[in-house]
Amino acid sequence: LNNAGSEGQPANLPEPIIDDIPEAVRDKPVTESRSLLKPQMLLIGGLGGFVAIAVVTGLFLSRPQAEAPVVSSPDSSATSSPIAGTLTPGAENILGHLVYEEAPASELKPITNDGSLQLRKAAAQQYKRMSTDARRAGVILVPISGFRTVAQQQHLFFDIKAQRGQDTSKRAEVSAPPGYSEHHTGYAIDIGDGRSPATNLSPRFEQTAAFNWLEKNAARYSFELSFPEGNPQGISYEPWHWRFVGDRHSLETFYKAKNLTPEAELENSSTP
């Protein structure tokens, strides 16, 4: 399941490898993101009141209520992301994580010699190209976790949450609930730097040669960062987690009917 070959055997591994959750982001104190939501909640409350009055009085609204944003981010009292998640209506999600289907085994290809890590065929092919080219440039990309089943994610979310005594929304900042991980799709991969294993699954991966190279070159292989800082889903920054968007199926998987709009844009778009 992962490069250490034992994501399913967490007792034998250091914690950060278990669930792509760095120690550093597990238990951050509540930050300003909480207060970021307050004006929006007031706005929604205000809009609700206005709509109610409009319905009663038979007023016609120039902006239909259906266009109002659906706030479905991780619990605002617990999120540590600078921008709370705001998903458009129709984006099926739990605590900011979007629903994904598990890739069929027949669609998966190994990306490691021992076959312990797999991606969908197109993603596997491009990942291997990318890794080879990085190596030529002196950069060692190490795959840490690729495709994960819903059952594996079930363990990562619930069992680790219980072990750490985390509450649900806190857990969801760093781990997707089963059925809601990009890793189910076979398009997502966690990448480390072979010369800096201590940064595996840590925000400090951002300071490695591998991340620097990926930032400049990953798009050539159709990989993109899934959870940049301030991502609209409200998930913690994950510089190690990349997804393939290089064919129609992967593009539809990540973008169709899942338009994500940062709060700032929503606020601007609601300005007359």
Q: In the complex, which residues of this chain contact ligand DAL (CB under 6 A)?
A: 20, 174-176, 181-183, 235, 238
Instruction: Give which of ligand DAL, Zn ion, none residue 190 binds (C-beta under 5 to 8 Å, depending on kind).
Output: Zn ion
241 makes contact with Zn ion (CB under 5 A): yes
- Per rule CB under 5 A, is residue 20 in the interface with Zn ion? yes
Is 243 an interacting residue with respect to Zn ion (CB under 5 A)? no
In the complex, least distance from residue 236 CB atom to ligand DAL, rounded to whole angstroms: 8
| CB 97, min distance to ligand DAL, A | 7
**What is the smallest separation between the CB atom of 234 and ligand DAL, expressed in angstroms?**
11
Q: How far is the CB of 25 from Zn ion (least distance, A)?
A: 13
Q: Give the nearer residue to ligand DAL in terms of CB position, either 144 or 174.
A: 174
Phi then psi for residue 257, to 5 deg, are 55, 25
Q: Check residue 7 for interaction with Zn ion (CB under 5 A).
A: no
| CA dihedral for 160, 162, 166, 167, sign (positive or negative) | positive
Q: Which span sits near Zn ion by CB under 5 A: 12-20, 64-72, 110-118, 192-200?
A: 12-20
Residues 6+ apart with CB under 8 A from 196: 205, 208, 209, 210
Residue 48 identity (one-letter amino acid)? G
Q: Residue 162 CB, nearest distance to ligand DAL (Å)?
A: 16
| CA atoms of 78 and 249, how far apart (whole Å) | 34
- Nearer CB in complex with ligand DAL: 1/139: 1
Q: Do the beta carbons of residue 177 and residue 95 sit within 8 Å?
A: yes
Residue 109: its H or E element: strand 108-110
Q: Residue 181 binds which entry of Zn ion, ligand DAL, none, with Cβ cut-offs from 5 to 8 Å by kind? A: ligand DAL
Question: What Å distances lie between residue 88 and 18, 44, 66, 258, CA to CA?
Answer: 32, 14, 10, 7
Shortest Å, Cβ 238 to ligand DAL: 6
Assess contact for 243 and 224: CB atoms under 8 A: yes
- Check binding of 263 to Zn ion (CB under 5 A): no
Beta-carbon contacts of 141 under 8 Å, excluding residues fewer than 6 positions away, are 130, 131, 134, 135, 191, 192, 193, 194, 210, 213, 214
- Nearer CB in complex with ligand DAL: 27/67: 27
Q: Indicate if the alpha-carbon torsion angle 49, 52, 54, 57 is positive or negative.
A: negative
Q: Which of 102, 190, 193, 263 binds Zn ion (CB under 5 A)?
A: 190
Residues that bind Zn ion (CB under 5 A): 20, 190, 241
